[in-house]
Structure 1
Amino acid sequence: MDMPDHGSAAEVSPHQALLRMITGSWVAQAIYVAAKLQIADLLRDGPQAPTALAATTGAHPRALYRVLRALASVGIFSEDEQGRFSLTPLAEPLRSDVPGSVRAFSIMQGSEWAWRSWGEIMHSVRTEKPAFEHVFGMPLFDYYAANPEAGRVGAEGLTSRSEPENAHVVSAYDFSRVGTVVDVGGGQGTLLASILTANPKTRGILFEKPHVIAMAQPIFEGAGLNERCELVAGDFFASVPAGADVYLLKKVIHDWDDEEARSILSRCRAALPDGGLLLLIELVIPPGNEPSFGKLLDLHMLVSPGGRERTQAEYRDLLASAGFALGRVIPTASPVSIVEAVPA
C-alpha cells in the first residue's frame, strides 16, 4: 500500500491527505497502546531503548519498537541513532503528571467499548440510534453503571479532556456574586471545584449518579472544599436539588436527543427560583463549512450516547421548549462556550 510521507501541509496532495484521514484510527490505537503502557511516563527522565521499555511494561520488544517507530513518524516520540526513544512536544501530554494530560482520554477512546461503537456507525446513520446500544444491548451510561472498570475509565477520560477547559470557563464568567451553584451531571466535579476555589464565598452542590459521586469525593477533599460543597446522588430525569442561584450543566445536554434533553432542562426549570440562571457549557456548532471539533464530536454523540451537538439556533429552540429564554452565548479561550439562559 502506497502511503504518503509526512511532509509539510503544502506538500501533501489531496490523495495523500485523504489516505491519512482514512488510516487515522491506526494512529489512535497506537497512541492508546503508548498511553496504556505509560511510555511517556517512563521516558520522563530521558531516552530509553525499546528493550528496556518492553521489560518494564511486559510488551514484546520488537512489537513495541514498531509501535514507537510508527508514532515517531507522526511526531509522537523521537528515535535517536542508538535506537532509543525520547519525548517530543506531542508526546508530553501523554504523561500522567502534567497539566492538560490526555493520557486518560486516549485510553478511554482506545477501549473496546468505544471503538466498537464506531465500527457500527452505519447502524446509526441508517436509524439515528446509538450504535453503542446496538452493539452492547444497553445505553452507554447503563453500561458504565453495570461495568465499574469501564465507568472509571470513562469518568477519568472525560475529566482529563474537560480539565483544561475549566480555567477558561472560570475566567470567562463572573461567579463571584453567586450564592450556590448546582453542577448537574458534573462528573468528578473538577469544574465545580475550580469555580469554588476561585470564588471563596460561593457554595456548591455536585449532583451525579452514586457511582460517580464516590469518585468525586477525593477531589473535593483534596481541594479542601468539603465545607462548601455538598455531594448529592440522584437522577436528573427525576429531579434536581431546588433553590440554587445557578444551575450548571457541562457537556450534559449534548449526551441526549431533544426529547431527553428537554426533560433534563425541564427539571432544572422546575428547581430554579425567580432570578436564577441556567448555564450550559457546550461546543456550539458554527455555520457553514467552518472547521469545528464539535462537528466531529457530534458524530461521536450519534454513535455512542445517542446525543448531538447543536447550533445557537437549536439551543434557543430547545431552551424555549423547556421554559427558558436564551440570553448570551459567551465564548471562552477553549472550544466550549457558555450558553446562558433565564426563565421565560
Structure 2
Amino acid sequence: MTASPTRKVLDLMIGYWASQSVYVATKLNLPEHIAAGHTTSHELAAVTGTHERSLFQLMRFLVGLGVLQGDDETGFSLTPSSELLKEDAPDSLRDLVLMYGEEFYQTWGNLLHNVQTGQPAFEATFGASMYPYFTANQESARRFDGTMAGGAFFTDLPRVFDFSATPTVVDIAGGTGGLLSEVLKASPQTKGVLFDQAHVIEAAKEAMADRGLTDRVSYAEGDYTEALPDGGDVYLWSRILHSRSDASCVDLLKRCRDALNPDGTVIVLERTIPPTGESSLGLWFDMQMMVLVGGTERSEKEYADLFDRSGLALHSVLPLSLDMFAIVAKRA
C-alpha cells in the first residue's frame, strides 16, 4: 500500500530519530557489550552507566529498526548491521556513525543559514571551515580519516576496470591505502604509489605492511593542490573532486594530465547526479557536500565538461555499489 502524503511527511520528519539512536548505541559501545555477553537492559545499563528503562526503550526501538534483534527476556543480540558498529569489525562503520551523529548532526541544524547565505553550514556551526577544524581537533580528524579509509565500493573497482595491463597506479590522497590495496590484490603485477601528506603516509605504511603489500607500494608526500607524482599509468581520485569548485577541479585535472603517462588513464570515483526524477545517494551527498564544504556532486555531463576543459576526454562511466561510479578519462 502506498503511504499517505501525511505519513510520507511524518517519515521524513522523524528520520533523525533513527540516526541518533544508532549513534547513541554506538557511542555507548552496545554492540561490543552485547557481543561480550551482556544481553539484557539491566546488564547493559550496569556496564554503560545508563538509565535502565531509557536504555531498554532505545534497544526496543533499535530492534524495530532491524539494528538489533531479540528482547529483554531472551536477551538482545546483534544483526549484520550492528556488527558493523563494532570498532574491531573488518569493515567497521563506527567512525562514520560517531562523526555523523556529532559534528555532522550539529552542522545540519544550520542548513537554513547555508541556503540563505551560501556559507557552508559547518563553518557557521563551528567557526571554522572543515579541514582547519580537523587540524585543531585531532580526535575528529582521526574519525574523519576513518570514514574515508574504507568503502564498500573499493572492491568493486577492480571488478569493473581491468588493471592487469597497468604497470603503476597512483592513488591521490590515498589515505591508509584501502582502495589501492584492493587494486593491487586484484592485479599482482601492478605496482602502487600512495600519495598523501606525511602524517597520513606513516599510518599507510603500517596498514600496507599488515596487508602484505609493502614490496609493491612506494610513497610520495605532498599536497595534490600543488604537485603530483609523475609517470603513473592510472591516477585514482576517490571522493576528492566533489569538495572542489569547477575551476579547482580543472586545475587538478590539468596537473594530472601533465603527470600522466601518454597512454594513461584517470579514474574519478564519485557519486553522480542522476537524471531529474530519479532517486540516488548522489542527491543526498550533494547536500552533504554543500553543508560541509560548499561542494557539489556532478552529473556525467558536468564531468565530461571538466575533462574537456582539462585536456582529457570521458571514456566510460562504470557503476559501483552505493551509487558510486568510476568515471574514466583518457587524454583527449
Instruction: Give the TM-score band, short-chain normalised.
Output: over 0.9
Distance change (3 Å), C-alpha of 1:129 and 1:187: farther
Segment drifting more, 228-237 vs 212-221: 212-221
Distance change (3 Å), C-alpha of 1:194 and 1:145: same
Offset of residue 302 of structure 1: 0.3
Counterpart in 1 of 2:244?
Answer: 256
**Superposed CA offset, 1:61-97 (max 9, x none):** 3332232122223222134262732223443332344
Any gaps of 5 or more consecutive residues in structure 1?
Answer: 1-9
**Superposed CA offset, 1:217-238 (max 9, x none):** 3210101212211222211110
Q: AA paired with 2:20? A: Q
Counterpart in 1 of 2:175?
Answer: 187
Offset of residue 267 of structure 1: 2.1
Checking the alignment, whether the CA contact within 8 Å between 1:145 and 1:211 is kept in structure 2 is no
1:77 to 64, 68, 78: 68
Offset of residue 45 of structure 1: 6.0
C-alpha separation between the residues in 2 aligned to 1:238 and 1:292?
A: 33
Checking the alignment, whether the CA contact within 8 Å between 1:284 and 1:310 is kept in structure 2 is yes
- Tell me if 1:148 matches 2:141: no
Distance change (3 Å), C-alpha of 1:90 and 1:186: same
Counterpart in 1 of 2:10?
Answer: 19
Checking the alignment, whether the CA contact within 8 Å between 2:265 and 2:331 is kept in structure 1 is yes
**Superposed CA offset, 1:24-83 (max 9, x none):** 112111101111222123223667111211222333333322321222232221342627
Distance change (3 Å), C-alpha of 1:182 and 1:151: same
Counterpart in 2 of 1:134?
Answer: 124
Any gaps of 5 or more consecutive residues in structure 2?
Answer: none
Q: AA paired with 2:138? A: P
Checking the alignment, whether the CA contact within 8 Å between 1:46 and 1:86 is kept in structure 2 is no
- Tell me if 1:228 matches 2:216: yes
1:278 to 258, 266, 285: 266
Offset of residue 333 of structure 1: 4.4
- Please report the TM-score for the alignment, with normalisation by the length of structure 2: 0.93
C-alpha separation between the residues in 1 aligned to 2:135 and 2:72?
A: 48
1:1-344 pair list within 5 angstroms: 10=1, 12-44=3-35, 48-80=39-71, 82=73, 84-111=75-102, 113-160=103-150, 162=151, 164-344=152-332
Offset of residue 251 of structure 1: 1.0
Q: AA paired with 1:322? A: S
Q: AA paired with 2:127? A: G
What number of residue pairs does the alignment pair up? 332
Q: AA paired with 1:145? A: T
Greater strand share, structure number: 2
Distance change (3 Å), C-alpha of 1:213 and 1:127: farther
Offset of residue 109 of structure 1: 0.7
Distance change (3 Å), C-alpha of 1:95 and 1:13: farther
Distance change (3 Å), C-alpha of 1:198 and 1:154: same
- Tell me the secondary structure at the aligned position of residue 275 of structure 1: strand
Checking the alignment, whether the CA contact within 8 Å between 2:60 and 2:71 is kept in structure 1 is no
Offset of residue 149 of structure 1: 0.8
Checking the alignment, whether the CA contact within 8 Å between 2:38 and 2:44 is kept in structure 1 is no
C-alpha separation between the residues in 2 aligned to 1:124 and 1:33?
A: 27
**Superposed CA offset, 1:220-272 (max 9, x none):** 01012122112222111101111111111111111222122222222212211
Checking the alignment, whether the CA contact within 8 Å between 1:107 and 1:157 is kept in structure 2 is no
C-alpha separation between the residues in 2 aligned to 1:182 and 1:175?
A: 12
Q: AA paired with 1:314? A: E
C-alpha separation between the residues in 1 aligned to 2:58 and 2:157?
A: 37
Distance change (3 Å), C-alpha of 1:194 and 1:326: same
C-alpha separation between the residues in 1 aligned to 2:171 and 2:273?
A: 23
Q: AA paired with 1:284? A: T
C-alpha separation between the residues in 2 aligned to 1:289 and 1:157?
A: 29
Aligned residues with identical type, % of pairs? 36
- Tell me the secondary structure at the aligned position of residue 85 of structure 1: strand
C-alpha separation between the residues in 2 aligned to 1:116 and 1:200?
A: 44
Q: AA paired with 1:22? A: M
Distance change (3 Å), C-alpha of 1:271 and 1:263: same
Offset of residue 131 of structure 1: 1.5
C-alpha separation between the residues in 2 aligned to 1:115 and 1:257?
A: 24
